[in-house]
Protein backbone atom coordinates (compact mmCIF):
# COMPACT_ATOMS: atom_id res chain seq x y z
CA UNK A 1 0.00 0.00 0.00
CA UNK A 2 1.39 3.40 -1.05
CA UNK A 3 2.18 5.89 1.69
CA UNK A 4 2.22 9.67 1.79
CA UNK A 5 5.77 10.99 1.45
CA UNK A 6 5.13 13.62 4.13
CA UNK A 7 5.08 10.72 6.61
CA UNK A 8 8.60 9.73 5.55
CA UNK A 9 9.86 13.32 5.82
CA UNK A 10 8.52 13.55 9.34
CA UNK A 11 9.94 10.12 10.23
CA UNK A 12 13.46 10.74 8.88
CA UNK A 13 14.07 14.24 10.25
CA UNK A 14 16.90 14.33 12.81
CA UNK A 15 17.26 10.54 12.70
CA UNK A 16 20.71 8.96 12.71
CA UNK A 17 21.04 7.28 9.33
CA UNK A 18 23.67 4.84 8.09
CA UNK A 19 24.08 4.47 4.32
CA UNK A 20 26.09 1.34 3.48
CA UNK A 21 27.79 1.50 0.09
CA UNK A 22 28.75 4.76 -1.59
CA UNK A 23 27.63 3.75 -5.07
CA UNK A 24 25.56 5.06 -7.98
CA UNK A 25 22.20 4.94 -6.19
CA UNK A 26 23.43 5.90 -2.72
CA UNK A 27 25.22 9.17 -3.55
CA UNK A 28 21.99 10.97 -4.54
CA UNK A 29 20.28 9.21 -1.61
CA UNK A 30 22.79 10.73 0.83
CA UNK A 31 22.18 14.23 -0.54
CA UNK A 32 18.42 13.66 -0.33
CA UNK A 33 18.54 12.47 3.28
CA UNK A 34 20.66 15.49 4.25
CA UNK A 35 18.12 17.77 2.57
CA UNK A 36 15.38 16.13 4.67
CA UNK A 37 17.28 16.91 7.88
CA UNK A 38 18.77 13.51 8.68
CA UNK A 39 22.20 12.97 10.29
CA UNK A 40 24.05 10.75 7.84
CA UNK A 41 27.04 8.42 8.09
CA UNK A 42 28.31 6.68 4.96
CA UNK A 43 30.04 3.29 4.99
CA UNK A 44 32.17 1.69 2.29
CA UNK A 45 34.82 -1.02 2.01
CA UNK A 46 36.93 1.20 -0.24
CA UNK A 47 39.67 3.43 1.16
CA UNK A 48 39.51 7.26 1.02
CA UNK A 49 41.97 7.19 -1.90
CA UNK A 50 39.79 4.74 -3.84
CA UNK A 51 36.67 6.85 -3.32
CA UNK A 52 38.65 10.00 -4.11
CA UNK A 53 36.77 13.23 -4.77
CA UNK A 54 33.47 11.80 -3.49
CA UNK A 55 34.96 11.35 0.00
CA UNK A 56 36.05 14.98 0.10
CA UNK A 57 32.61 16.18 -1.07
CA UNK A 58 30.81 14.11 1.57
CA UNK A 59 33.06 15.41 4.35
CA UNK A 60 32.28 18.97 3.28
CA UNK A 61 28.59 18.13 3.74
CA UNK A 62 29.25 16.92 7.30
CA UNK A 63 28.72 13.27 6.42
CA UNK A 64 30.67 10.97 8.74
CA UNK A 65 32.70 8.47 6.69
CA UNK A 66 33.53 4.95 7.85
CA UNK A 67 35.85 3.41 5.25
CA UNK A 68 38.16 0.45 4.77
CA UNK A 69 38.14 -3.29 5.44
CA UNK A 70 36.55 -3.00 8.90
CA UNK A 71 33.84 -0.55 7.85
CA UNK A 72 30.99 -2.76 9.14
CA UNK A 73 32.33 -3.31 12.63
CA UNK A 74 29.40 -1.56 14.29
CA UNK A 75 26.02 -0.42 12.91
CA UNK A 76 24.17 -0.77 16.19
CA UNK A 77 23.85 2.95 16.94
CA UNK A 78 21.63 3.91 13.98
CA UNK A 79 17.89 4.50 13.69
CA UNK A 80 17.72 3.65 9.98
CA UNK A 81 20.17 1.83 7.69
CA UNK A 82 20.02 1.96 3.90
CA UNK A 83 21.97 -0.99 2.50
CA UNK A 84 23.39 -1.42 -0.96
CA UNK A 85 21.38 -4.09 -2.88
CA UNK A 86 24.13 -6.73 -3.23
CA UNK A 87 24.68 -7.01 0.53
CA UNK A 88 22.83 -9.84 2.22
CA UNK A 89 20.33 -8.82 4.90
CA UNK A 90 21.49 -11.74 7.08
CA UNK A 91 25.06 -10.45 7.37
CA UNK A 92 26.09 -10.19 11.06
CA UNK A 93 26.29 -6.38 11.01
CA UNK A 94 22.68 -5.99 9.80
CA UNK A 95 21.35 -8.71 12.10
CA UNK A 96 22.93 -7.00 15.10
CA UNK A 97 21.61 -3.59 14.02
CA UNK A 98 18.06 -4.95 13.67
CA UNK A 99 18.28 -6.55 17.10
CA UNK A 100 19.14 -3.10 18.48
CA UNK A 101 16.01 -1.66 16.84
CA UNK A 102 17.34 -0.25 13.56
CA UNK A 103 15.08 -0.13 10.50
CA UNK A 104 17.08 -1.71 7.64
CA UNK A 105 15.91 -0.84 4.14
CA UNK A 106 17.11 0.24 0.68
CA UNK A 107 16.68 3.14 -1.72
CA UNK A 108 14.45 1.13 -4.07
CA UNK A 109 12.21 -0.31 -1.33
CA UNK A 110 11.40 3.17 -0.06
CA UNK A 111 10.83 4.46 -3.59
CA UNK A 112 8.18 1.81 -4.30
CA UNK A 113 6.59 2.51 -0.93
CA UNK A 114 6.24 6.29 -1.47
CA UNK A 115 6.10 6.84 -5.24
CA UNK A 116 2.69 8.38 -6.07
CA UNK A 117 2.65 7.16 -9.71
CA UNK A 118 1.86 3.75 -11.19
CA UNK A 119 4.97 1.54 -11.16
CA UNK A 120 5.82 -1.22 -13.62
CA UNK A 121 8.53 -3.48 -12.21
CA UNK A 122 10.60 -5.80 -14.43
CA UNK A 123 12.78 -8.68 -13.29
CA UNK A 124 14.13 -11.92 -14.76
CA UNK A 125 17.42 -13.69 -15.38
CA UNK A 126 17.73 -12.26 -18.91
CA UNK A 127 16.11 -9.43 -20.84
CA UNK A 128 15.35 -7.09 -17.92
CA UNK A 129 17.02 -3.96 -19.28
CA UNK A 130 15.71 -4.26 -22.83
CA UNK A 131 12.14 -4.93 -21.62
CA UNK A 132 12.34 -2.04 -19.14
CA UNK A 133 13.62 0.33 -21.83
CA UNK A 134 10.98 -0.82 -24.34
CA UNK A 135 8.19 -0.19 -21.81
CA UNK A 136 9.57 3.25 -20.94
CA UNK A 137 9.78 4.14 -24.65
CA UNK A 138 6.21 2.98 -25.37
CA UNK A 139 4.81 4.96 -22.43
CA UNK A 140 6.66 8.07 -23.63
CA UNK A 141 5.32 7.54 -27.15
CA UNK A 142 1.81 7.34 -25.69
CA UNK A 143 2.37 10.79 -24.12
CA UNK A 144 2.94 9.98 -20.45
CA UNK A 145 5.59 11.78 -18.46
CA UNK A 146 7.69 8.70 -17.77
CA UNK A 147 10.57 7.75 -15.48
CA UNK A 148 13.01 4.86 -15.72
CA UNK A 149 15.34 3.56 -13.01
CA UNK A 150 16.26 0.87 -10.53
CA UNK A 151 18.90 -1.69 -11.45
CA UNK A 152 19.21 -0.01 -14.85
CA UNK A 153 21.45 2.53 -13.12
CA UNK A 154 19.24 5.55 -12.38
CA UNK A 155 18.32 6.16 -8.70
CA UNK A 156 14.77 7.48 -8.30
CA UNK A 157 14.02 7.91 -4.60
CA UNK A 158 15.65 11.35 -4.53
CA UNK A 159 13.21 12.37 -7.32
CA UNK A 160 10.08 11.09 -5.59
CA UNK A 161 8.73 14.59 -4.81
CA UNK A 162 8.94 15.52 -8.51
CA UNK A 163 6.82 12.55 -9.65
CA UNK A 164 3.10 13.18 -10.13
CA UNK A 165 0.27 10.62 -9.67
CA UNK A 166 -0.52 10.57 -13.41
CA UNK A 167 3.14 9.93 -14.41
CA UNK A 168 4.36 6.43 -15.22
CA UNK A 169 7.47 4.75 -13.75
CA UNK A 170 9.31 1.68 -15.07
CA UNK A 171 11.94 0.07 -12.85
CA UNK A 172 14.31 -2.82 -13.42
CA UNK A 173 14.68 -4.96 -10.30
CA UNK A 174 17.48 -7.44 -9.65
CA UNK A 175 17.19 -10.45 -7.35
CA UNK A 176 19.41 -8.55 -4.89
CA UNK A 177 17.00 -5.61 -4.78
CA UNK A 178 14.00 -7.92 -4.47
CA UNK A 179 15.46 -10.16 -1.78
CA UNK A 180 14.29 -7.97 1.11
CA UNK A 181 11.23 -6.40 -0.55
CA UNK A 182 7.91 -6.49 1.29
CA UNK A 183 6.09 -4.30 -1.22
CA UNK A 184 5.36 -4.97 -4.90
CA UNK A 185 4.71 -2.71 -7.92
CA UNK A 186 1.23 -2.49 -9.47
CA UNK A 187 2.48 -4.24 -12.61
CA UNK A 188 5.11 -6.96 -12.23
CA UNK A 189 6.93 -8.58 -15.16
CA UNK A 190 9.16 -11.67 -14.92
CA UNK A 191 10.85 -12.20 -18.29
CA UNK A 192 12.27 -15.66 -17.44
CA UNK A 193 14.14 -17.46 -14.66
CA UNK A 194 17.28 -19.59 -15.02
CA UNK A 195 20.31 -20.19 -12.75
CA UNK A 196 22.11 -16.92 -11.97
CA UNK A 197 23.93 -15.13 -9.13
CA UNK A 198 24.57 -18.34 -7.22
CA UNK A 199 27.73 -16.73 -5.87
CA UNK A 200 25.50 -14.48 -3.73
CA UNK A 201 22.31 -16.51 -3.23
CA UNK A 202 22.49 -19.59 -1.00
CA UNK A 203 20.89 -21.74 -3.68
CA UNK A 204 18.52 -21.68 -6.65
CA UNK A 205 15.48 -21.80 -4.36
CA UNK A 206 16.49 -18.57 -2.64
CA UNK A 207 17.10 -16.92 -6.03
CA UNK A 208 13.59 -17.91 -7.22
CA UNK A 209 11.99 -16.73 -3.98
CA UNK A 210 13.68 -13.35 -4.39
CA UNK A 211 12.22 -13.02 -7.89
CA UNK A 212 8.73 -13.86 -6.57
CA UNK A 213 8.81 -10.85 -4.24
CA UNK A 214 8.05 -8.69 -7.28
CA UNK A 215 4.43 -9.95 -7.10
CA UNK A 216 4.15 -11.48 -3.62
CA UNK A 217 2.68 -8.28 -2.10
CA UNK A 218 0.40 -7.22 -4.95
CA UNK A 219 -3.35 -6.59 -4.52
CA UNK A 220 -6.13 -8.35 -6.42
CA UNK A 221 -6.36 -5.42 -8.87
CA UNK A 222 -2.65 -5.59 -9.82
CA UNK A 223 -1.14 -7.36 -12.83
CA UNK A 224 1.52 -10.08 -13.13
CA UNK A 225 3.11 -10.79 -16.53
CA UNK A 226 4.82 -14.17 -16.95
CA UNK A 227 6.70 -16.04 -19.67
CA UNK A 228 4.59 -19.10 -20.58
CA UNK A 229 7.52 -20.75 -22.39
CA UNK A 230 9.77 -20.72 -19.32
CA UNK A 231 9.03 -23.64 -17.01
CA UNK A 232 9.80 -21.76 -13.79
CA UNK A 233 7.80 -18.62 -14.57
CA UNK A 234 4.87 -20.61 -16.00
CA UNK A 235 4.66 -22.50 -12.69
CA UNK A 236 4.09 -19.21 -10.84
CA UNK A 237 0.65 -18.47 -12.34
CA UNK A 238 -1.22 -20.08 -9.45
CA UNK A 239 0.60 -17.91 -6.89
CA UNK A 240 -0.57 -14.57 -8.31
CA UNK A 241 -2.76 -12.43 -6.07
CA UNK A 242 -4.10 -10.33 -8.94
CA UNK A 243 -4.57 -10.63 -12.71
CA UNK A 244 -2.15 -12.67 -14.83
CA UNK A 245 -1.11 -12.21 -18.46
CA UNK A 246 1.31 -14.51 -20.23
CA UNK A 247 3.37 -14.28 -23.39
CA UNK A 248 4.71 -16.97 -25.70
CA UNK A 249 6.69 -17.34 -28.91
CA UNK A 250 5.74 -21.03 -29.13
CA UNK A 251 1.95 -21.04 -29.02
CA UNK A 252 -1.05 -18.86 -29.84
CA UNK A 253 -2.82 -17.60 -26.69
CA UNK A 254 -6.43 -16.51 -26.28
CA UNK A 255 -5.23 -13.60 -24.14
CA UNK A 256 -1.77 -12.13 -23.70
CA UNK A 257 1.16 -11.68 -26.05
CA UNK A 258 2.13 -14.23 -28.67
CA UNK A 259 3.79 -14.83 -32.02
CA UNK A 260 1.25 -15.91 -34.65
CA UNK A 261 3.28 -17.13 -37.64
CA UNK A 262 5.06 -13.87 -38.59
CA UNK A 263 2.96 -11.45 -36.48
CA UNK A 264 3.50 -10.14 -32.94
CA UNK A 265 0.07 -9.99 -31.28
CA UNK A 266 -1.51 -8.82 -28.05
CA UNK A 267 -4.96 -10.02 -26.94
CA UNK A 268 -5.80 -11.08 -30.50
CA UNK A 269 -4.67 -7.84 -32.19
CA UNK A 270 -1.62 -7.67 -34.45
CA UNK A 271 0.97 -5.11 -33.37
CA UNK A 272 3.56 -5.61 -36.13
CA UNK A 273 5.22 -8.14 -38.39
CA UNK A 274 8.31 -10.06 -37.30
CA UNK A 275 10.16 -8.72 -40.34
CA UNK A 276 9.49 -5.11 -39.24
CA UNK A 277 11.30 -5.18 -35.87
CA UNK A 278 14.93 -4.04 -35.71
CA UNK A 279 15.97 -6.05 -32.63
CA UNK A 280 17.89 -9.26 -33.38
CA UNK A 281 16.86 -12.60 -31.93
CA UNK A 282 13.75 -14.37 -30.65
CA UNK A 283 14.68 -13.43 -27.08
CA UNK A 284 13.93 -9.84 -28.08
CA UNK A 285 10.57 -10.91 -29.52
CA UNK A 286 9.85 -12.25 -26.02
CA UNK A 287 10.90 -8.90 -24.53
CA UNK A 288 8.52 -7.04 -26.87
CA UNK A 289 5.61 -9.38 -26.05
CA UNK A 290 6.27 -8.96 -22.31
CA UNK A 291 6.17 -5.17 -22.75
CA UNK A 292 2.89 -5.38 -24.72
CA UNK A 293 1.28 -7.46 -21.95
CA UNK A 294 2.38 -5.06 -19.23
CA UNK A 295 1.16 -1.93 -21.03
CA UNK A 296 -2.02 -3.08 -22.81
CA UNK A 297 -4.31 -1.30 -20.33
CA UNK A 298 -2.47 2.03 -20.62
CA UNK A 299 -1.34 2.45 -24.24
CA UNK A 300 -2.71 1.88 -27.73
CA UNK A 301 -1.51 -0.48 -30.46
CA UNK A 302 -0.08 2.43 -32.47
CA UNK A 303 2.37 3.37 -29.68
CA UNK A 304 3.46 -0.25 -29.31
CA UNK A 305 3.95 -0.59 -33.06
CA UNK A 306 5.94 2.63 -33.40
CA UNK A 307 8.47 1.57 -30.78
CA UNK A 308 8.58 -2.08 -31.87
CA UNK A 309 9.50 -1.13 -35.44
CA UNK A 310 12.03 1.60 -34.62
CA UNK A 311 13.78 0.52 -31.39
CA UNK A 312 17.25 -0.75 -32.32
CA UNK A 313 18.45 -1.90 -28.91
CA UNK A 314 20.31 -0.89 -25.76
CA UNK A 315 24.08 -0.45 -25.66
CA UNK A 316 26.10 -3.61 -24.88
CA UNK A 317 23.22 -5.88 -25.97
CA UNK A 318 23.97 -7.54 -29.34
CA UNK A 319 25.28 -4.11 -30.35
CA UNK A 320 26.84 -3.94 -33.80
CA UNK A 321 30.26 -2.30 -33.50
CA UNK A 322 31.98 -2.40 -36.89
CA UNK A 323 32.73 -4.48 -39.97
CA UNK A 324 36.42 -5.07 -40.79
CA UNK A 325 37.60 -7.07 -43.83
CA UNK A 326 34.11 -8.51 -44.20
CA UNK A 327 33.93 -9.63 -40.53
CA UNK A 328 31.18 -8.16 -38.32
CA UNK A 329 31.89 -7.48 -34.63
CA UNK A 330 29.14 -7.39 -31.99
CA UNK A 331 29.28 -6.25 -28.36
CA UNK A 332 27.04 -8.30 -26.06
CA UNK A 333 28.89 -7.55 -22.83
CA UNK A 334 25.61 -7.58 -20.85
CA UNK A 335 25.49 -11.38 -21.27
CA UNK A 336 26.52 -12.42 -17.76
CA UNK A 337 24.88 -15.87 -17.76
CA UNK A 338 24.98 -18.91 -20.07
CA UNK A 339 21.29 -18.55 -20.99
CA UNK A 340 21.78 -14.92 -22.02
CA UNK A 341 24.72 -15.89 -24.23
CA UNK A 342 22.66 -18.72 -25.75
CA UNK A 343 19.93 -16.24 -26.66
CA UNK A 344 22.51 -14.04 -28.38
CA UNK A 345 24.01 -16.99 -30.29
CA UNK A 346 20.57 -17.96 -31.58
CA UNK A 347 20.11 -14.42 -32.96
CA UNK A 348 22.76 -15.02 -35.64
CA UNK A 349 22.08 -16.93 -38.83
CA UNK A 350 25.28 -19.01 -38.67
CA UNK A 351 27.94 -20.13 -36.14
CA UNK A 352 30.01 -17.28 -34.66
CA UNK A 353 33.45 -16.77 -33.18
CA UNK A 354 32.53 -16.34 -29.52
CA UNK A 355 34.62 -14.52 -26.90
CA UNK A 356 33.47 -15.70 -23.46
CA UNK A 357 34.57 -16.02 -19.84
CA UNK A 358 34.84 -13.82 -16.77
CA UNK A 359 33.93 -13.71 -13.09
CA UNK A 360 32.66 -16.98 -11.59
CA UNK A 361 29.05 -16.73 -10.35
CA UNK A 362 29.08 -20.46 -9.53
CA UNK A 363 26.79 -21.25 -12.47
CA UNK A 364 27.40 -24.45 -14.47
CA UNK A 365 28.30 -24.04 -18.16
CA UNK A 366 26.97 -27.41 -19.35
CA UNK A 367 23.89 -25.77 -20.93
CA UNK A 368 26.10 -23.37 -22.90
CA UNK A 369 28.04 -26.31 -24.33
CA UNK A 370 25.05 -28.59 -24.96
CA UNK A 371 22.78 -25.98 -26.56
CA UNK A 372 25.40 -23.62 -27.95
CA UNK A 373 28.00 -25.83 -29.66
CA UNK A 374 26.19 -25.81 -33.03
CA UNK A 375 26.14 -22.00 -32.96
CA UNK A 376 29.88 -21.60 -32.30
CA UNK A 377 32.59 -21.74 -34.96
CA UNK A 378 35.50 -20.99 -32.60
CA UNK A 379 35.50 -20.35 -28.85
CA UNK A 380 37.94 -17.78 -27.42
CA UNK A 381 38.10 -17.90 -23.61
CA UNK A 382 39.31 -15.35 -21.05
CA UNK A 383 38.94 -14.62 -17.35
CA UNK A 384 38.51 -16.62 -14.18
CA UNK A 385 36.06 -19.11 -15.73
CA UNK A 386 37.96 -19.94 -18.93
CA UNK A 387 39.08 -23.38 -17.73
CA UNK A 388 35.61 -24.13 -16.33
CA UNK A 389 33.99 -23.32 -19.70
CA UNK A 390 36.69 -25.26 -21.56
CA UNK A 391 35.96 -28.31 -19.39
CA UNK A 392 32.22 -28.12 -20.20
CA UNK A 393 32.95 -28.15 -23.94
CA UNK A 394 35.55 -30.92 -23.63
CA UNK A 395 33.02 -33.05 -21.72
CA UNK A 396 30.52 -32.46 -24.51
CA UNK A 397 33.17 -33.45 -27.07
CA UNK A 398 33.59 -36.83 -25.35
CA UNK A 399 29.83 -37.32 -25.06
CA UNK A 400 28.71 -36.25 -28.54
CA UNK A 401 31.90 -36.55 -30.59
CA UNK A 402 31.69 -32.88 -31.64
CA UNK A 403 34.67 -30.57 -31.79
CA UNK A 404 34.77 -26.81 -31.21
CA UNK A 405 38.19 -25.15 -31.63
CA UNK A 406 39.11 -23.41 -28.34
CA UNK A 407 41.64 -20.60 -27.94
CA UNK A 408 42.75 -19.54 -24.44
CA UNK A 409 43.64 -15.85 -24.00
CA UNK A 410 45.02 -13.84 -21.08
CA UNK A 411 43.33 -10.52 -21.84
CA UNK A 412 40.49 -9.03 -23.85
CA UNK A 413 43.00 -7.50 -26.28
CA UNK A 414 44.60 -10.90 -26.84
CA UNK A 415 41.16 -12.50 -27.25
CA UNK A 416 40.08 -9.99 -29.91
CA UNK A 417 43.37 -10.37 -31.80
CA UNK A 418 43.04 -14.17 -31.68
CA UNK A 419 39.45 -13.94 -32.95
CA UNK A 420 40.54 -11.71 -35.80
CA UNK A 421 43.33 -14.09 -36.84
CA UNK A 422 40.96 -17.07 -37.20
CA UNK A 423 38.09 -15.09 -38.79
CA UNK A 424 37.28 -15.12 -42.49
CA UNK A 425 35.15 -12.83 -44.66
CA UNK A 426 31.49 -13.30 -43.76
CA UNK A 427 32.20 -14.32 -40.15
CA UNK A 428 30.72 -12.78 -37.00
CA UNK A 429 32.81 -12.16 -33.86
CA UNK A 430 30.84 -11.46 -30.71
CA UNK A 431 31.79 -10.70 -27.11
CA UNK A 432 29.06 -12.51 -25.17
CA UNK A 433 30.85 -13.63 -21.99
CA UNK A 434 28.22 -15.78 -20.18
CA UNK A 435 29.83 -14.36 -17.01
CA UNK A 436 29.96 -11.18 -14.97
CA UNK A 437 32.94 -8.87 -15.45
CA UNK A 438 34.28 -8.43 -11.93
CA UNK A 439 37.43 -10.54 -12.34
CA UNK A 440 38.84 -8.10 -14.92
CA UNK A 441 36.51 -5.06 -15.10
CA UNK A 442 34.45 -3.02 -12.64
CA UNK A 443 31.25 -3.63 -14.62
CA UNK A 444 29.94 -4.93 -17.94
CA UNK A 445 29.81 -1.41 -19.43
CA UNK A 446 33.56 -0.92 -18.98
CA UNK A 447 34.18 -4.38 -20.48
CA UNK A 448 31.95 -3.60 -23.46
CA UNK A 449 33.47 -0.18 -24.00
CA UNK A 450 36.98 -1.62 -23.99
CA UNK A 451 35.90 -4.23 -26.54
CA UNK A 452 34.55 -1.45 -28.77
CA UNK A 453 37.72 0.59 -28.34
CA UNK A 454 39.86 -2.38 -29.39
CA UNK A 455 37.67 -2.97 -32.47
CA UNK A 456 37.62 0.70 -33.44
CA UNK A 457 41.41 0.98 -33.18
CA UNK A 458 41.88 -1.84 -35.70
* Binding site per annotation, positions for ATP: 124-130
Q: What is the 3-state secondary structure (H, E, C) of 300-335?
A: CHHHHHHHHCCCCCCCCCCEEEEEECCEEEEECCCC
Beta strand 327-331 pairing with 257-260: unpaired
189 burial via Cβ count (<10 Å: 0-12, 13-18, 19+): buried
Q: Is 394 exposed, middle or buried (0-12, 13-18, 19+ CB in 10 A)?
A: middle
Q: How far is CA 144 from the centre of its chain?
A: 24
Secondary structure (DSSP) of 226-265: EETTSHHHHTTGGG-SSEEEEEESSS--SSSEEEETTEEE
Task: Give the residue ranges of the annotated binding site.
Answer: 124-130
H or E element that contains 125: none
CA dist 412 and 249 (Å) reads 35
Burial letters 111-128, b for 16+ CB under 10 A, else e? bbbbbbbbbbbbbbbbbb
Distance CA 353, CA 322 (A): 15
Q: What is the C-alpha to C-alpha distance for residues 237 and 163, in angstroms, rounded to an integer?
A: 32
Bridging pattern class, strands 243-248 and 257-260: parallel
With a CB cutoff of 8 Å and minimum separation 6, the contacts of 8 are 36, 110, 114
Our CA dihedral for 226, 311, 331, 446, rounded to 10 degrees, sits at -90
Amino acid sequence: MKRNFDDFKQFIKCKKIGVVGIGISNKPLIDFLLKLGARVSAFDKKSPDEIGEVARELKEKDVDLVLGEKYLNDLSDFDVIFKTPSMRIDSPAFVKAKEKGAYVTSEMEEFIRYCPAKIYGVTGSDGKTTTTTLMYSILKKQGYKSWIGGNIGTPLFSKVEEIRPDDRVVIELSSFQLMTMNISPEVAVITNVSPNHLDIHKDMEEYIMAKKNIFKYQSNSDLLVLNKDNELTNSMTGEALGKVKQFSIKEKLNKGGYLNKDSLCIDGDEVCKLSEIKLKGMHNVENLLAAFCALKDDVNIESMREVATTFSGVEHRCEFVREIDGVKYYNDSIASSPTRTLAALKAFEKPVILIAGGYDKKIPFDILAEEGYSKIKTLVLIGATKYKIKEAFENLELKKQVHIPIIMANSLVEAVNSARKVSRRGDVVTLSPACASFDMFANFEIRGNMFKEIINRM
